[in-house]
Amino acid sequence: MAPCCLLQIGWCLERPRGFRLAAALCAAVVALALAPALDATSASLLGINYGRVGNNLPPPQSVMPLLEGLGIGRVRMYDADPTVLRAFARTGVELIVGVPDECLAAVADPSGAAQWLKENVAPFLPDTKISVLAVGNEVLTGANSSTLSRTLLPAMQSLHGAVAALGLDKQITVTSAHNLGVLGTSYPPSAGAFRKDLLPYLCPILDYHARTGSPFLVNAYPYFAYSSDPRGVQLDYALLDPGFAGVQDPNSRLHYPNLLVAQVDAVYHAIAAANTAASRVVEVRVSETGWPSAGAANETAATPQNAARYNSNAMRLVAEDKGTPLKPGAPLRAYVFALFNENLKPGLASERYYGLFKPDGTPAYELSFKLPRDNSTFGHGDTGKGGGGIGGNGNGNGSSWNNSGGGNSGYYDISASARDTTGHWRMWAQAAMAGAVAVLTL
């Protein structure tokens, strides 16, 4: 049962009184202020997603040696499971804690947000280093978007208010992760634009990000671009191969060496088109990206070799600290999906094979790139390079279903969103030449 469901049941029995809630939250703040600071997370801008949709996964306590081996000190989880939060206590690992979709209605109310914070965050501070609350996942394009979209921003605002009331808004950022299906046009990146039917939601969300200094998170998967249109998208371009010649944006004349940075810049352009003021300060960060190592017979691109190439190149790309062609001064921050293969994931067979590790802790494949040792704080100090992580406040820069074409020009066109009636997550629709888009619903 989700934490917010337990909370709602508790309210039916006995609604907490204001002074009791305030006292509990104040106690958490005092504890946080008096406790010694944890070791810095990592100088690396790279993190990893810790999904747990499986019945054969190791306990959370087994995760630390794997993270240490990778040199990664940032982890995104999709809920606020207390077992996991306790497992990361006093490790210095920086966490993104998910607020599940089913909790949005409860936390959209300020008192509900304060109560959720009391139940799911305050008890673990300061021992567990929680830096981000990710409200929902791919809400605007998910199976329940019709009922949840209106509550997304109020939920973010209420949680941010509750965090600020504790004086923790400089330490804990409140944001949300979107899939690339929010784009109505993506090719070329300079023509990036949000779906017109989503602008009434996205424009005020961008205002919120600009006001709070929080980043705009996207789940970006070049894998789906290639697997949907292998003739129109070159494999080396999708795999982020550093030796690929790249593609030029015909409008901006910017050179794009790989598809991931093209996707990120398309989002930057969409933000600028929707909200000029917000575009000056809102930073785009990648909350999920990855490549599966196996799949069904028709998922020919899902191989250990391709997964190893993509994730090694993604790690190298982030470690280079060069940003994107449009935003070279804003370091590219990304979370690789995922830590483990998850055998209970619904959808395509490949959905169950995104892990860098098998459930027994052995590598699913060998990576050709390893983060430099000074990027990890396992036995090292903080160099200060990565301040803010994927959701922190440091280093911030601050429906039209038309097809704009270009699937055979090296970019994957995500200009028309295919609605996912089954609700499974991260599934891209049909070929780029047909104007397909990614629908990445959790």
pLDDT in tens, the chain (442 residues): 344 643 332 222 233 334 344 444 444 433 333 333 334 345 568 999 999 999 999 999 999 999 999 999 999 999 999 999 999 999 999 999 999 999 999 999 999 999 999 999 999 999 999 999 999 999 999 999 999 999 999 999 999 999 999 999 999 999 999 999 999 999 899 999 999 999 999 999 999 999 999 999 999 999 999 999 999 999 999 999 999 999 999 999 999 999 999 999 999 999 999 999 999 999 999 999 999 999 999 999 999 999 999 999 999 999 999 999 999 999 999 999 999 999 999 999 999 999 999 999 999 999 999 887 655 455 443 333 334 456 554 433 222 222 223 332 333 332 222 223 222 222 222 222 223 333 333 3
Per-residue pLDDT at 396 = 32
Q: How far apart are CA 288 and CA 108, in angstroms?
A: 25
Which residues are catalytically annotated?
A: 138, 288
Domain ranges of the chain: 3-439
For the chain, how are helix, strand and coil distributed in percent, rounded to 5? 40, 15, 45
Per-residue pLDDT at 324 = 98
Q: How many Cβ atoms sit within 10 Å of the Cβ of residue 38?
A: 17
Per-residue pLDDT at 374 = 52
CATH number of 3-439: 3.20.20.80
- Residue 6 CA to its chain's centroid (Å): 26
Per-residue pLDDT at 187 = 87
- SS3 letters for 94-142? EEEEEECHHHHHHHCCHHHHHHHHHHHCHHHCCCCEEEEEEEEECHHHC
Q: What is the DSSP letter of 386?
A: T
The sign of the torsion formed by the CA atoms of 236, 240, 245, 250 equals positive
3-class SS of residue 268: helix
Q: Half-sphere exposure (CA, 13 Å, Cβ side) for 89?
A: 15
> Which two tokens mark 363?
């590598």
Per-residue pLDDT at 411 = 31
Q: How far apart are CA 151 and CA 37, in angstroms?
A: 35
For residue 177, give the nearest of 82, 1, 51, 359 by alpha carbon: 51
Q: How far apart are CA 364 and CA 355, in angstroms?
A: 7
| Amino acid occupying residue 340 | F
* DSSP H/E element including 336: strand 334-337
Q: In sequence order, which residues have a C-beta less than 8 Å from that of residue 315 and are 6 or more positions away?
A: 46, 336, 367, 369, 370, 371
DSSP structure string for 12-42: HH-PPPHHHHHHHHHHHHHHHHHSPPPPP-B
Q: How far apart are CA 130 and CA 81, in angstroms?
A: 13
Per-residue pLDDT at 235 = 98
CB 364 within 8 A of CB 357: yes
Q: Half-sphere exposure (CA, 13 Å, Cβ side) for 25?
A: 23
b/e burial code for range 6-32 (CB count within 10 A of at least 16 → b): ebbeeeeeeebeeeebeebbeebbeeb
Per-residue pLDDT at 437 = 31
Q: How far apart are CA 326 and CA 257, in angstroms?
A: 12
